[in-house]
Amino acid sequence: MSSTVRVHLKGVVDNSYDIVIGTSLRQALRDIANDFRDASKFIITDSNVKSHYGGIFNNKLFRILTVPAGERSKDRKTKEYLEDRLLSLRADRNSLIIALGGGVIGDLAGFVAATFMRGIPYIQIPTTLLAQVDSSIGGKVAINHPLGKNLIGAFYQPKKVYIDTGTLKTLPEKEFPNGMAEVIKYGAILDIQLFNFLEKNHKQILKRDRSSLTRIIKRCCQLKKMIVHQDERETGLRRILNFGHTVGHAIEALSNYRIGHGEAIAMGMVAEAKLSYALGMINYDDITRLSRLLQAYGLPITIPSRFTLKQLLRATLHDKKIKQGTVQYTLLEKIGKAKVGVQLTLKEVEQHLNR
Ligand SMILES: NC(=O)c1ccc[n+]([C@@H]2O[C@H](COP(=O)([O-])OP(=O)(O)OC[C@H]3O[C@@H](n4cnc5c(N)ncnc54)[C@H](O)[C@@H]3O)[C@@H](O)[C@H]2O)c1
């Protein structure tokens, strides 16, 4: 049975929407066909997701537009290709875009929807763990620029999010830890009970037991909704989600993106927990607990020695969270609680992490 988490976003316009968790792709399809009866409907997906699930959507009510799988598709060329296709297929202001895939598709299709004819509605159907717990919720959509990731984007909320946890069965082994790193992050910064659950149930979760996965995905959606609700445009509290990401992004960049996002964030979380400890904010036991949990899910905790601390810290300067020569960190106060906007100079971070 499915359950619903509502994201309330009532500003000048009402951008609220439902996240339906535990539905099936077929049911989502029926709901969309009903709710958007008069709209022409375009599914944007990637080659891998299409090969697994394209058959379900092979229906005359939906047009499928497919792009190659992978981060490279989150670029201007692919965005143009999709816009050209939409125009040639006579999409108009009443059309609907459905993003079916992982975070790449969600970000790309959402960004196309945000600007096509000054914005048309879109729906997210996330199919990776990362997209189900994180990227499909909150309305951050973007494409990459050769100078950096996500440099061209918008805040643009979907009309609905449908999560079929069954799609995680076909997710390749190497993709699962990317999502788990984010799930562990939610526990570490916001919810000790989630953290405890992840500790106790790692065997079932790693086997992708559907009821455990549904439970943690629902909890993560609730937590993300709570944050987005209070800070839709990332001016304050939403930065809490950056825990592990300042050092993590630096590791990703230094490795030329050969180290996966989840692995880099895991190492980043441990480094930032060490920083929290050095600043007297947490106990050493908290670092140990966090490290053990990450390792239980097959995530690395030690930054490769080929990256020096100096190189790493210089790379944090490319992050968007820099303010007047200081880097803003989200640090831990204890497991389940974090503090945003801790401003530290490179020298301070170097001294603390060198100990
Ligand atoms: N908008 C946000 O708030 C936000 C947050 C975090 C990350 N992101 C973005 O998300 C992207 C990463 O997302 P991702 O990790 O989901 O990667 P992804 O979309 O590239 O998916 C990973 C791989 O899994 C395949 N795949 C997807 N679902 C599948 C399924 N059910 N079965 C089999 N294969 C499947 C894809 O084809 C791809 O090869 C990055 O571009 C990142 O910047 C955005």
Question: For atom 35 of ligand 1, which residue has the closest CA?
Answer: 171
Per-residue pLDDT of the chain (355 residues; tens, 9 = 90+): 788 988 887 776 788 899 999 999 999 999 999 999 999 999 999 999 999 999 998 888 999 999 999 999 999 999 999 999 999 999 999 999 999 999 999 999 999 999 999 999 999 999 999 999 999 999 999 999 988 889 999 999 999 999 999 999 999 999 999 999 999 999 999 999 999 999 999 999 999 999 999 999 999 999 999 998 888 777 788 899 999 999 999 999 999 889 999 999 999 999 999 999 999 999 999 999 999 999 999 999 999 999 999 999 988 887 666 666 789 999 999 999 999 999 999 999 999 887 6
Q: Would you state the pLDDT for residue 319?
A: 63
Q: Would you state the pLDDT for residue 76?
A: 98
Whole-Å CA distances, 7 to 25, 157, 231, 303: 21, 10, 12, 36
Query: Which atom number of ligand 1 is nearest to the Cα of residue 129?
Result: 16
Q: Measured between alpha carbons, how far is 342 from 198 in angstroms, rounded to an integer?
A: 27
Q: Measured between alpha carbons, how far is 274 from 284 in angstroms, rounded to an integer?
A: 8
- Report residue 347 CA to chain centroid gap: 31
The residue type at 179: G
Q: Would you state the pLDDT for residue 201?
A: 97
Residue 229 is among the residues annotated as catalytic for this protein: no
Question: For atom 3 of ligand 1, which residue has the closest CA?
Answer: 135
In the reported structure, the alpha carbon of residue 351 is separated from the centroid of ligand 1 by a whole-number distance in angstroms of: 36
Q: Would you state the pLDDT for residue 323?
A: 63
**Residue 64 · residue 45 · CB < 8 Å:** yes
Which is the catalytic residue, given 175, 182, 232, 272? 182
Query: Which atom number of ligand 1 is nearest to the Cα of residue 150?
Result: 43
Ligand 1 pocket by Cβ (under 6 Å): 46, 48-49, 52, 69-71, 74, 101-105, 107, 127-128, 130-131, 134-135, 138, 140, 149-150, 167, 170-172, 175, 178
Tokens (6 digits) for 42: 């375009």
Q: Measured between alpha carbons, how far is 311 from 7 in angstroms, rounded to an integer?
A: 40
Tokens (6 digits) for 101: 């895939």
Q: Measured between alpha carbons, how far is 299 from 301 in angstroms, rounded to an integer?
A: 7
Please, what are the domains in the chain? 3-171 (3.40.50.1970), 174-203+235-354 (1.20.1090.10)
Query: Which atom number of ligand 1 is nearest to the Cα of residue 149?
Result: 43
In the reported structure, the alpha carbon of residue 244 is separated from the centroid of ligand 1 by a whole-number distance in angstroms of: 19
Query: Which atom number of ligand 1 is nearest to the Cα of residue 167?
Result: 31
**Which residue, among 95, 135, 128, has the nearest Cα to 112 in the 3D structure?**
95
**Residue 130 · residue 103 · CB < 8 Å:** yes
> Buried (b) or exposed (e) across 53-76, using 16+ Cβ within 10 A?
beeebeeeebbebbbebeeebbbe
The residue type at 13: V
Q: Measured between alpha carbons, how far is 153 from 143 in angstroms, rounded to an integer?
A: 6
Which is the catalytic residue, given 79, 140, 219, 321? 140
Question: For atom 13 of ligand 1, which residue has the closest CA?
Answer: 103
Q: Would you state the pLDDT for residue 339?
A: 96
Question: For atom 41 of ligand 1, which residue has the closest CA?
Answer: 104
Residue 182 is among the residues annotated as catalytic for this protein: yes
Which is the catalytic residue, given 48, 50, 242, 321? 242
Where helices occur in the chain by DSSP H, the ranges are 25-35, 47-53, 76-88, 103-115, 129-130, 176-190, 192-200, 202-206, 210-230, 245-254, 261-278, 284-296, 309-316, 346-354
The residue whose two tokens read 């100990």 is 355
In the reported structure, the alpha carbon of residue 107 is separated from the centroid of ligand 1 by a whole-number distance in angstroms of: 9
In the reported structure, the alpha carbon of residue 353 is separated from the centroid of ligand 1 by a whole-number distance in angstroms of: 32
Q: Measured between alpha carbons, how far is 176 from 133 in angstroms, rounded to an integer?
A: 12
In the reported structure, the alpha carbon of residue 267 is separated from the centroid of ligand 1 by a whole-number distance in angstroms of: 20
